[in-house]
Every structure is written in C-alpha cells, then in structure tokens.
Structure 1
Amino acid sequence: MKGFVMLALAIICEIFGTTMLKLADGFTNLLPSVGVIIGFILAFYFLGLSLKSIPLSLGYGIWAGAGTALTTLIGVIIWREPFNTITFISLFAIILGVILLNSSSAPINEKEPSNV
C-alpha cells in the first residue's frame, strides 16, 4: 500500500513539474523553472521509493500513463488545448494499457501438479 501512495505522490509531482514546464516558457521565467526542477526531482524520488514494493513495469507504466493522461486533461482545461475524438481515443488507450499492464502483473493462481 505504501508503494502506491509513493507512486501517487510521484504522479502528482510529475504533473506539477510538467505544468510548470509550460509556464517556464523555455526556462525564461524563474519561478516556474524552479518548479520544474523541484517537481521532477520529487517525482523521481517518490517513483524510486514506490519501486521498492511495486514491480518496475507496473510502477513505471502507471506513472507514465497517468502522468500523460492527467497532463493532457490539464492542457485541455487550463490552456484550452483541443479535445477531440483522437484525444479521447488516445486517453482511453493509455488508460486501457495501464489496466492491462496491471492485470498482467497479477499472480496467476495455478493448480499444483498432482503426483499420480
């Protein structure tokens, strides 16, 4: 459970850092530029902590997928970036990919071979 809390913090920090990246305007605005650095340092720190108890493929997949999807939504809401059918299908594909990756990481309940 702690791993997923750390992963959630990593996602929040990554979204913050990426949002600040837009506001930094090519690193010409000081405060947003500092926000980028702090956001990404914390994102990787928390991601690293989460990977102590979550498999790499699952943790990174969720981090990257959720970060991409939520950052896209922030772009649509805050900066009025276009949201159309392709955007919707792309977000759906990201979410579906994370769900499938998560289900592929679940242990398979196999029956013990019988000794006949």
Structure 2
Amino acid sequence: MKYLFLGLAIIFEVIGSSFMKASEGFTKWFPSAIVVIAYLICFYFLSLALKMIPLGVAYAIWAGLGIVLTAAVSVFIFKQKLDLAAIVGIVFIVIGVVIMNFFSKTSH
C-alpha cells in the first residue's frame, strides 16, 4: 500500500507540473485550478506514504521518478527536446533510485 500511495503522489505531481506549464504563469484559470488540485492530492498521498516509508527514501523516489516522468511529458506532450546531457542525467537519476531501492537497507 505504501508504494501505491507514493505512486499516486508521483502521478499527481507530474499532472500538477504539466498543467503548471499549461497555465502560462497562472494566467489561465482552468489549468491553474488543476495545478492546485493535483498538488493537494499529491501531497496528501505523499503524507500517507511517509507514514510507512523513510522520508529520505520516499523523497528520493518521488523527486527522481517525478523528474523522469515530467521530462517524458515535456518531450511527448509539449514537444520539447532533451539533449544528450539531459538524457544522461535522467539515466543517472533512474540508476540512483534503483540502487536506493534494491541495495540500501534504509528503504526496508
């Protein structure tokens, strides 16, 4: 259940970030409302996950996967380009999350 809560927090964080771009600096009301609602839901689920997952581990996973998924949204939805350095950095983030989850005793 703890990783379901964390996964939902990540999904709503990505939704909030994506609609923040669409809100054009909070000048469009509908995307702006989605940003606020998505982040409220995101932090609610993150708070539930933090009852069972250590803060450092949960935040690393939340931030890392949020970066990866937000970058994917920027490429596929907003048609933005990632250069080689950005791709390598994202790969390092994924490797870090995998190492933390499979090899760190902190995450158990």
What TM-score, normalized by structure 2, do the two folds share?
0.92
- Give the match for residue 13 of structure 2: 14
Q: How many pairs does the alignment contain?
A: 106
CA distance in 2, matches of 1:106, 1:4: 11
Structure 1: 5+ residue runs without aligned partners?
A: 108-116
- Give the match for residue 65 of structure 1: 64
CA distance in 1, matches of 2:79, 2:19: 16
Give the alignment's Cα RMSD to 1 decimal.
1.2
1:106 positional shift: 5.0
What pairs with 1:72-111 in structure 2 (closer than 5 Å)?
Answer: 72-102=71-101, 103-104=103-104, 105-106=106-107
Q: Which amino acid aligns with 2:69?
A: L
Structure 2: 5+ residue runs without aligned partners?
A: none
Larger Rg: 1
1:81 positional shift: 1.0
Cα offsets for 1:42-99 (capped at 9, x unmatched): 1111000001111111111100000011000110111111123112101101101111
Identical positions, percent: 38
CA distance in 2, matches of 1:62, 1:13: 14
Q: Is the 8 A contact 2:64 2:93 kept in 1?
A: yes
CA distance in 2, matches of 1:70, 1:26: 21
Task: Identify the structure with the greater helix proportion.
Answer: 2
1:101 positional shift: 2.1
Q: Is the 8 A contact 2:54 2:107 kept in 1?
A: no
Q: Which amino acid aligns with 1:10?
A: A
What TM-score, normalized by structure 1, do the two folds share?
0.86
- Give the match for residue 33 of structure 1: 32
What pairs with 1:39-58 in structure 2 (closer than 5 Å)?
Answer: 39-58=38-57
